[in-house]
Amino acid sequence: MTIRLGNIAEGNDFFARKTELEDFWDYLEGNHVVLTGPRRLGKSSLLKRLAEQAEDQGLLSRLIDVEGIDTPEEFVASIEDAFPDTTVKGFVKKYAEKINSWLGRVHKANLTLPAGMGGGGVELQALPQTPWRKQAQEVQQRLSDAPVLILIDEFSVFLEKLIARDAHEAELLLGWLRTWRQGTTPSRLVFSGSIGINTLLERHNLSTRMNDCYDFKLGPFRLGEACDMLAELAKRKEWQINADCARHLCDRIGWRSPFYLSLLLDETRKAARDRLLESTEVNRILQTIDVDDAYDRLLATRSRFIHWHKRLTRDLAEPDLSFCLAVLSHAAKAAKGLSRAQMLARLVKLEPLAPRRAERLSSTLLYLEEQGYLIYEGQTIEFLSFLLRDYWKRNHAF
C-alpha cells in the first residue's frame, strides 16, 4: 500500500479528527457551516468522512465538488443532480427513525416532513428573472424540508470564477442560498474550498452574504495524533518509527498538516532505505538522521514547492504582489517568526504611510493564512510549514 499524498483520505487512510467530527455534528444541529483552514489540512477529507457518517445521524448526504463550473445554472443543477427526488423519498422511507432523531436534535418543534416531501410553506426568495430562477426555487422547495446534508467543496473556487464573469449574478446566488439557510429547515449546507472563502467575500464586499454560517476553522493534528498516524503509515510499508523519531519528524514539519507529515515520512523511508543499502544493518527502523536527510532532499526538489510562488505571481497584481512577496521574504528569514511591529518596520520602504502600511499588512496576512503560507497566532507571524519556509528562504527571500 502506497502513502497517499494530496488525495482525499478515505477509509483507513483517514486519521484522527475524532474531536473535530464530534464538534462539527454539534454545530450542524443549529447551524449551516463554512469550513475554513489553510491548504493541505484535509478539509475535503473531513467532508468525505462527514458524508460517510451522515446516515447514522439521520441525514442523506452528498459531497459535491463545484470546482469545474462557473455559472449559477450549473451550480443549482449540481445540487439537483446529487439529490434526485426518488433518492430523497427512498431515504425518508428507509430511515424514518434516524430522521426523527435528527429532527429532535435540531430543536425545531415545527420541523415535520410533509407528505410526499413537496416542500410545505418554504419561504422562497423573490429572485429577479434570471435563467436559473425557476430551477433554484424548485430545488430549494424540494430540499428545504428534506433531511439532507449538502457538502459543497471548492465553493470558493467556483465563486471566484462567477464573480469574475458576473459579480451581480454571484450576489444573487449568495442571496438565494442565504434565504434557504435562514428558513426553518432540517437541511444543512456546508461550504468549503482551497481558496479562503472569508478572504474572497471580504475582498468583494460580500461578507454579509454568508455571515449567518458558523465558521468552523480546521487546525493541525495534535502531536499524539500525528505520531499515531506516522507509526501506522510506516508499519504499512514494513518500517518502524519510534516515539522520539516521530516527534523529531513533527518538529521538523512545524504545523502538523497531514499532507506535510506524509510527505516527509515518505521521503524519510526512502532515505532510510538508501542508508541500509550502504551498511550492514537489517533493521527497518527509521532514525532521526533519516528524517534530516529526507528534509534536505525535499528542499532540493524545487518541483515540490515552485507552485507556491507561481500561484502568487498568477493571482496577484502590483503593488499587492511585491508587498506580499516582501512579507514572505521577511518571515522566511526569521526562524522564530516576527512580531507584527517587527514586520511593519521591515515594510517601511514599500509603504511609508503607517496607517496604510498596517491596513495592507492585515489584509495580506489574512490572504496568506487562508492560502496556507503563514499563520499569525498570538504575537508571531511565521510560516505554517517549516519546509515551505526553508524552501522560500533558499529560493525567494531577498
Torsion of CA 40, 8, 173, 71, to 10 degrees: 110
Q: Which amino acid is at 98?
A: K
Which residues contact residue 252 at a Cβ distance below 8 angstroms, ignoring those fewer than 6 apart?
A: 264, 291, 292, 295, 386, 387
Region 331-357 average pLDDT: 97
**How much is the average pLDDT of 174-179?**
94
Is residue 121 within 8 Å of residue 160, measured between CB atoms?
no
Q: Which residues of 33-60 are buried (b: 16+ CB within 10 A; e: fewer)?
A: bbbbbbbbbbbbbbbbbbbeebeebbbb
Per-residue model confidence (pLDDT) at position 60: 98
Task: Give the chain's domain count.
Answer: 3
Note whether residue 2 is domain-resident.
no
Band (pLDDT 50/70/90 cuts) for residue 25 is: very high
C-alpha cell at 324: 506580499
326 plus 259 within the same structural domain = no
H or E, element range at 277: helix 258-277
- Check whether residue 60 and residue 88 sit in a common domain: yes
Q: Looking at the predicted structure, is the pLDDT value of residue 12 above 80?
A: no
Does residue 279 carry a pLDDT above 60?
A: yes
Q: What is the pLDDT of residues 96-120, one digit of tens each?
A: 999 999 999 886 534 444 444 433 4
Mark whether 212 and 130 lie in a shared domain: yes
pLDDT tens per residue across span 377-386 = 778 999 999 9
Residue 269, pLDDT > 60, answer yes
| Each residue's pLDDT tens digit, 124-162 | 555 778 899 999 999 999 999 899 999 999 999 999 999
295 & 332 share domain: no
Indicate the range of 59-63, 250-254, 277-281 predicted with least confidence: 277-281
**Domain range holding 376?**
305-395
- At residue 258, the 3 state secondary structure works out as helix
Residue 361 domain-assigned (yes or no): yes
90 in a structural domain:
yes
> Does residue 33 sit in the same domain as residue 150?
yes
> Is the domain of 35 the same as that of 63?
yes
